[in-house]
Structures are given as structure tokens and as C-alpha cells.
Chain A
Amino acid sequence: MAVADPSYNQVDTSSDEEDGAKNNINGSPSSPKSVGGYNASKQNGTAVTHIDRYGFMGGSQYTNPDDEHRIAIDKLRQRELKWLEMFDDWEKWMSKRFKKIRDRCRKGIPPSLRSRAWQYLCGSKFLMEHNEGRFDEYLQQPGNPKWEDDITKDLHRQFPQHEMFNSKGSYGQEDLYKILKAYTIHNPRDGYCQAMAPIAAVLLMHMPAEQAFWCFVSICEKYVQGYYSPGLEAIQVDGDVLFGLLKKTQPSVYKHIKKQQIAPILYMTEWFMCLFTRTLPWSTVLRVWDMFFCEGIKVIFRVALVLFKIVFGDAGNFKDCPTLYETLEKLRHIPIQHLDEELVVQDTLRLNINERDMEKEHQKQIHRRKTKDKSKKGGKQKS
């Protein structure tokens, strides 16, 4: 899809979801930022709003019931039993049979147990039990007015088409405020970063506020440490790591992006900081999160690498991408049909890259940065 450049007269003001060539800002059907009309139909003259199984009423996150993957009920029951069995003896499973847990996360956690599984996997269950009453204490403490102001301004801008968050004062928005405010007291150095909000919102879609808070703490402190810290250095390092890995997995794409001088932060900031919640169809988001909770940030790297494959193909097809803009548009607006949960998950497992490659690349980038900083400082001192 080329960068849309509708002339003045061609600007389409209707919310035609089919028109992919339309201007891209908020308008593309595959853009998660797009917030089109609600999915409403008329019955007996009254508008009926359809809510999908995840609570979305419209926008790009809305899942059409016809496109859903439904797992056969007996298979689902079997999986649920297996998970219940694991919960019963969780420590042992984690220490002795982690691979089995990992495989089960890769298959997708049964929706009815997802909330519990996430909390077990990230250790937030433990955190909460050892910090009884702490969340309420945080809520009672006076917060930094600057953070509170920023948070308040953002409450209505998180998944505005989700039933929990679609109106002012809705319980979703209230709880979101609580979690984010509590975190600014828990971690005053990082305070509130806008990219935290979608993460907290997804957790709230699955669990009560206090549980979501500790899960959120776990993600921020263990999984994506430093992503929301002032200066956003960790995200920039990971951007460089991703680019380095791209060189290994898809050299032709790497070359293309390098030639157009596209800095990683231009395409990966939202992917990584929001853990794909604003990029992928919802069922795929949940499958990615299932794996992420078990295996950590490397899952996010893998998904990102897969997106490059999906967009440009293995051979690297750049004929529609003469400049940086077209390349970025392609990466940012991937047609939803190419992001099916099974396809994305299977592709991440097939990637020709392992943990050691990632670790190596990470060390390399950290070293590169340090050398760069040193030479900068040295240069300054000299001058």
C-alpha cells in the first residue's frame, strides 16, 4: 500500500472501512489506532451495538465473529484440566517441567484460565500475597500532581472502543487511574509514561485492579525493565538489537531499511512499548501475551521479526517502497488477514534465531552505545 495522498477533493469523510487507500492517519482499516464507527446494526428501528467476545464494540480491534478461531469444546476442556493440574503444583512444574509449560503457553492458554495463568507465570500472585494492603496504601497516598494530571488526560484514550473503557467514569477508566497512580508511588522515578496505559488496560480486561496492579509491576520491573524510564534508553537499545537481529534473519530487509536510514524507533516504539496491543488483531495479541508471560521479551523480538517477513516476504519485496514513508506505512499498517494468530505464532517458532543470538546482539549493542557515549564525552572535553 502506497502512502495515501488523496487530493483535496478525494478526501473521503465517510468511515468506509474497506477503503485501504484512504488517508492513513487513523483511517486505515488495519490501523489499530483507527477508531471507526461502532459495529452497529438496526433491529426494529433501534441501533444495536455488537460487542465482540473480547469486549470491543468497534475499531480495528473488533473481531468479526465469522473470523474467529474456535477451539473444539472437548479440546478446550482437556487443556483446562491440564492447566488446573499445573496450578496445583506450580512450583514443581516451573522448576522441573518448564518446557511443558512453555509449550502449553505457545498453544494458547484457555481463556477461562488466562488471568490466573498470567499471574502465576509472572509471579505477581506471589508479589501480591507478600504485599497485602500495599495497593490500597498507594491509593491513599497523595500522588505527584503532574503524573495525576497526565494520567487523567489519558484515561479516555485507551481502547476507547472497549466496553470497559468507552465512557468517562466507567469502571475500567476508574481502575486504570488507580493502577497508574499507584505505580507512580511505587516507582516515583519512572512515574507515569503514556505507553504504560495500554498495558494496564489489557490487564484490567482480565483481572481485578489489585491483581492487575501487581501483574503490571511485574511486567514493568522484570519483563521490560527500563522501557518506561526517563530518557527511554532501554527501548532505543532494544531497537538497535532488533535491527541487528534483522540483519541476521532477513538481510535484504535490513539492507533496504538501512539504505533508507529508518531509525528503529520509527517503527518499533509502539510495538515494543505497548507489547503489540495496538498492532495485532486481538486474538493474536492474547496469544503473543501468553508466550510473553512465559518466555519474556524475546517473544516480542520474535514477533517483530515475523512482521518484517509478513510485510516484505522472505525474498524482500520493496517495489512499493521507494522512500522511508512508504516503507514505514507498510510496516505500520499490516493488513489484518496476514496477522492471524496461528500464522504469527507458528512463524515466531520457526524463526532461525535463538536465545544466544539475542543475548549476543544485546551485549554488542550495549557495548556499541558505551563506546559511542565515551567518544562523545571525550569529544566534548576536548572542545
Chain B
Amino acid sequence: MSYAYLFKYIIIGDTGVGKSCLLLQFTDKRFQPVHDLTIGVEFGARMITIDGKQIKLQIWDTAGQESFRSITRSYYRGAAGALLVYDITRRDTFNHLTTWLEDARQHSNSNMVIMLIGNKSDLEARRDVKKEEGEAFAREHGLIFMETSAKTAANVEEAFINTAKEIYQKIQDGVFDINNEANGIKIGPQHSPSPSLPSSSGGGAQGSGCC
């Protein structure tokens, strides 16, 4: 299927915070409490629409254990968005956010949009991290923030889509150089400007940026 843009995302965060479940909820609309753990990296993809444009999200889901950190770092390359996930019922996963963020900042391009996600919001009774704390952390570090539940699907769509909106906005603002794939954005193969625009003639896929 044709798309206007492809955005590469990466999902990071401690082991067991629900990274794979968030991805599965977003791509397949189901929750799988029982699944094999992620070793290395897994992939998912889905099409969304923003501003009437088809955008393909290519999502890399990573292993959370610290041992894998040295190889996870190479996945950041060319990511336009990152979902940094913690578990609201486990404070240690929140405490580790700084390390994750350092890693992300160091190994990705500086314009990468980072969405902070407090997952497992359905487990209110076991909450260990206040929503305000998540908000404060996000504010302090310039991230977008949301609490989600991969189980009930609450805010899952929004988390992925709002990240894409932010990236899209950055493209509109000219912050992202869309012709440089290292930014995690690719222009779709069939994306050509509307034929009614006079400037479109002769414009190939590469020349058909947004304006």
C-alpha cells in the first residue's frame, strides 16, 4: 500500500514494562498476556492517517534487559520517534528513565521525538508512580507524556499517533530533513504531489516533499 511517509519508531524501556504488548495492541488490536520475551529486536508496522496523509509506522521493539543495551544502541540509528516506556506499578522502571534517555539522546539524531509512556494504567491499585511524576519528568526533559494500558488499549492509539503528529509537525516546520533517511523518515514510493498542482510536473518521489 502506498504511503506518503514512513516513520521509524523504536520502543525502549526496562524489561517487563509492556513494550511488546503495546506494540501488539497497536498493530493487532489485541492483548497477549502470555508471550515469549523479546530477544534482540522485533518489528511491527501499521498505517495511520495524519492530515489526510497515509503514514506508515515501522516500529522496532527492543529487548529491555541491561545485558542487551550494547546492541540496542545500534537500533536507534535512523529512528524518528521513540516510545520510552516505564511501568507505573514498578518504581525502579521509572528510576531508570534517565539512563534510557541518556542512551537515546546519545545514539539517535537530535530531532528524534520522544514520547514518555507510563504503562499498565489499568493497575491503579498497584500504582507506584504518580501520574504527576511522569508529567514532571517529561516536562523537565522536553518529552511528550501519556499513561497507557496495553491491556485495555487505553491511550495506546493516541501514544503512537501523537508521536507521529509531532514528527509530522516537525517536517512541516522544516526541522527534519526528509531527504536524509538517517532522520528516520522516508518519503513513500508512490507519493507524488496532486496533479492539480502546476509545480508537480516532473517531480519524482524525492522531489515531492511537503509544503
Contact = CB atoms under 8 A, between A and B. Distances in A.
B67 A194 contact: yes
B46 interface: yes
Nearest to B8: A325
B201 interface: no
Contacts of B61: 25
Contacts of A358: none
Interface residues of B, number: 41
Interface string A1-31: 0011111100111000000001111110000
B28 interface: yes
A266 interface: yes
B37 interface: yes
A18 B56 CA distance: 24
A5 B71 contact: no
Most A-side CB within 10 Å, residue of B40, B48, B70:
B40
A35 B32 CA distance: 8
Interface stretch (B16-24, B114-122, B124-132): B16-24
A11 B45 CA distance: 11
A32 B39 CA distance: 12
B70 to A, nearest CB: 5
Given A4-B45, A23-B46, A157 B63 contact: no
B71 A26 contact: no
B48 A157 contact: no
Contacts of A197: 37
A273 interface: yes
Nearest to B38: A33
A252 interface: no
A265 B43 contact: no
B28 A263 contact: no
A32 B36 contact: yes
17 contacts: A5-B46, A8-B49, A11-B46, A22-B28, A25-B42, A25-B44, A26-B32, A27-B28, A33-B42, A35-B36, A150-B15, A153-B16, A157-B34, A157-B35, A270-B39, A270-B40, A278-B39
